[in-house]
Structure 1
Amino acid sequence: MSNKPIADPASTEKRATVYRMVMDKHICPWGLKTVHLLKSEGYEVDDRWLKTREETDAFKQQHDVKTTPQTFIGGERVGGYDDLRRFLGKTVNDPDATTYTPVIAIFAMGAALALAVSWLMGNALLSVMSAELFISITMCLLALQKLRDVDSFATMFLGYDLLAQRWVPYAYLYPFGEGLAGVLMTAHALNWLSVPVALLIGGIGAVSVFYAVYIQKRELKCACVGGNSNVPLGFVSLTENVMMFAMGLWMIFA
């Protein structure tokens, strides 16, 4: 990035030049986001396309940069998309930062689907049935995230689950058990199978999370939404397991 001072965006004439890759078989998504961001901030954009690999490489060498797009404002190079966001005073996401967003999205979708199914069946939106559906559907959605990459999930899960640490195959079986229990509980079918599975994985999971977080005081990432997630192990993870365990108990008496 240039060592020259960059003008304040508030005082700079709102004109920008963007160099981005637009090729026959590749259009840079970050370039599209850059142009959109500038226009949404009221900038007049001189949108210059790099149409070949040779043209792109020559541009990078000329400006001593490793990536495109590159934005220039007031005759100074601002940089790539993240640099532009900083220049405009906007936040830049940290890919390594912990976040509850994936879990919130899954729980929200589970709730929406539960209400939709309850409405379709002619039941009240807020009822025992909708609560049951919320838990069972959410179990299915969480299992789906884990099943996207079972090995990655198992590797992270082994870091804190007490049973998996003693019998490694359990880490690979867990997402299948959660998904199976969720589907059967949604259908209220084969309780003799779904209830023991939910009680087993929910109970062991709750104890494991509580022990790791509140006894050992460890700071770990949760495998609840699949491997390589940035969801912190803690209250949300404990809630997932308690919900499964509670659903298993409920199905015994329902």
Structure 2
Amino acid sequence: MKDTIETEPQGQPAGRKATLYRMVMDKHLCPYGLKSKALLERKGFDVEDHPLTTREQTEAFKREHGVETTPQAFIGRERIGGYSELRAHFGNPLPEEGATSYKPVIAIFGTAFAMALAFSWAALGAIAIIPVIEWFIAIAMVMLGIQKLQDVESFSTMFLNYDLLAQREPRYGYVYPYAETGAGLLMIAGTLLWIAIPVALFIGTIGAVSVFKAVYIDKRELKCACVGGSSRVPLGFVSLTENVMMVAMALWMLFT
């Protein structure tokens, strides 16, 4: 049962008054307290803010209300809870831990495309379709490589779940992020393509075959290592697209 608290002074319309208790100390300013306050204000509440400025004050508050964490928000006489509970109360809950999310991939490909447009405008003074596509793929390769390079150990572990070459030679999982990033950088620069093309063609082909086998033949449900070892993106179309793009880019540069 939720706690109750007296928070409505006379004359205050019911439902528009909120009280918030949050930690505000010299060495710790609770970010979720700030988020809770901002969320309540965006929803039109007059927030009565109660900073908890010492550990003793914070622990006393938690004992009094039988809670384990702060911040704690009250709307009217009802305790709603912390930031997560506030989000849920307003119909916008936070994603569950480990839940599927395509946001990292959308952010990477969207930013890569925007950068390709910017490159085209800066270099050519116009939006040229073919160069934009080339830059888009090369930039996406670099950005995806960066995600893997943040934690190569975690990436290589997740990669072993489905990559056929890495399963035969685990060290390939440690090489892959550097190969992808390096090939993308050389393609952006338009130099040393005799290195970039075969590297992209090799890792892209092995990757596409591995993903196709794991997902569409073996019917396995795995997480994709395409955006690093902490990825919540399901293995499937996204990873297959990443590898097919590398192969297509390599073949395009080879024949043009």
**TM-score, with length taken from structure 2:** 0.93
Counterpart secondary structure, 2:29: coil
Residues of 2 paired with 1:165 and 1:247: CA distance? Answer: 26
CA contact (8 A) 2:3 2:65 kept: no
Unaligned runs of 5+ in 2: 5-12
Counterpart secondary structure, 1:16: strand
- Give the structure 2 partner of residue 128 of structure 1: 130
- Give the structure 2 partner of residue 44 of structure 1: 46
Counterpart secondary structure, 2:144: helix
Q: 1:19 aligns with which of 14, 21, 27?
A: 21
CA contact (8 A) 2:144 2:227 kept: yes
Q: 2:221 aligns with which of 214, 219, 222?
A: 219
CA deviation string 1:104-126 (max 9, x = no partner): 10001110111111111115414
Counterpart secondary structure, 2:226: coil
- Give the structure 1 partner of residue 2 of structure 2: 2
- Give the structure 2 partner of residue 233 of structure 1: 235
- Give the structure 1 partner of residue 98 of structure 2: 96
Moved over 6 A (4+): none
Counterpart secondary structure, 1:23: coil
**Residue identity (%):** 59
User: Alpha-carbon deviation of 1:60?
Assistant: 1.2
Number of equivalent positions? 248
Taking the TM superposition and a 5 Å limit, the aligned residue runs for 1:103-252 are: 103-122=105-124, 124-252=126-254
- Give the structure 2 partner of residue 81 of structure 1: 83
Unaligned runs of 5+ in 1: 5-10
Cα pair distance change 1:3/1:38, threshold 3 Å:
closer
- Give the structure 1 partner of residue 9 of structure 2: none
Residues of 2 paired with 1:13 and 1:223: CA distance? Answer: 46
The two structures, once aligned, show a CA RMSD in angstroms of: 1.4
**TM-score, with length taken from structure 1:** 0.94
- Give the structure 1 partner of residue 8 of structure 2: none
